[in-house]
Amino acid sequence: MSPERASLTVSKIRDGTVIDHIPAGKALTVLRILSITGKEGLRTAVLMNVESRKLGRKDIIKIENRELSSKEVNAIALVAPTATINIIRNYVVHKKLRVEVPENIVGILRCPNPTCITNRPREPVTPRFKVTSKSPLVLQCVYCGTIIREDEIEKLLTA
């Protein structure tokens, strides 16, 4: 082994998306947001808790032959605000995007208030939240005013 610390090596991909600088331990939540279960047949690498100069530890996801919509990129920001999205074409980083928490969140999360109109059993209204603070992340339901804090987001994801 080289004198440098041991590392997990995963090969470069030809075409697809590399989501880098994910906070350590959040990769599976990011996959959930993207609705990637493994059954789609996409060749995917998930690295968890690997060394990062910037973050100490980080997670990385490499997905072949899949690009992300802007809605998916915004949703990733809710659980992985430090993530970098690299779009790979013919082995080259074609585009590098920082994720950004949007002003409004439509869908993706459910409102925790059981009496909110977004939780009506019949004809439910699509949940909508206004981002009232980006760091720390604070969201507010547009319909009932319920506040959601950063640590509650994961359990409110609908995907």
Interface positions with ligand CTP (CB under 6 A): 12-13, 18, 20, 60, 62, 84, 86, 88, 91, 93
Residue 91 touches which of Zn ion, ligand CTP, none (Cβ within 5-8 Å per kind): ligand CTP
Residue whose CB is less far from ligand CTP, 44 or 74: 44
Residue 86 touches which of ligand CTP, Zn ion, none (Cβ within 5-8 Å per kind): ligand CTP
* Smallest distance, Zn ion to C-beta of residue 156, A: 11
- Identify the residue among 61, 63, 88, 111 touching Zn ion (CB under 5 A): 111
- Burial string for 22-60 (b: 16+ CB within 10 Å, else e) reads bbeebbebbbebbebeeeeeeebebbbeeebeeeeebbb
- Residue number of the CB closest to ligand CTP reads 12
Mind spelling out the 3-state secondary structure of 71-111? HHHHHHHHHCCCCEEEEEECCEEEEEEECCCCCEEECCECC
**Exposed (0-12), middle (13-18) or buried (19+): which is 113, by Cβ within 10 Å?**
middle
Residue carrying the six token digits 């059993």: 121
144 near Zn ion (CB under 5 A): yes
The residue range among 2-10, 84-92, 93-101, 103-111 that interacts with Zn ion, by the rule CB under 5 A, is 103-111
Residue whose CB is less far from Zn ion, 60 or 141: 141
Residue whose CB is less far from ligand CTP, 49 or 132: 49
The residue range among 28-36, 42-50, 93-101, 113-121 that interacts with Zn ion, by the rule CB under 5 A, is 113-121
> In this structure, what token pair is assigned to residue 52?
């990062």
Q: Which helix (H) or strand (E) holds 157?
A: none
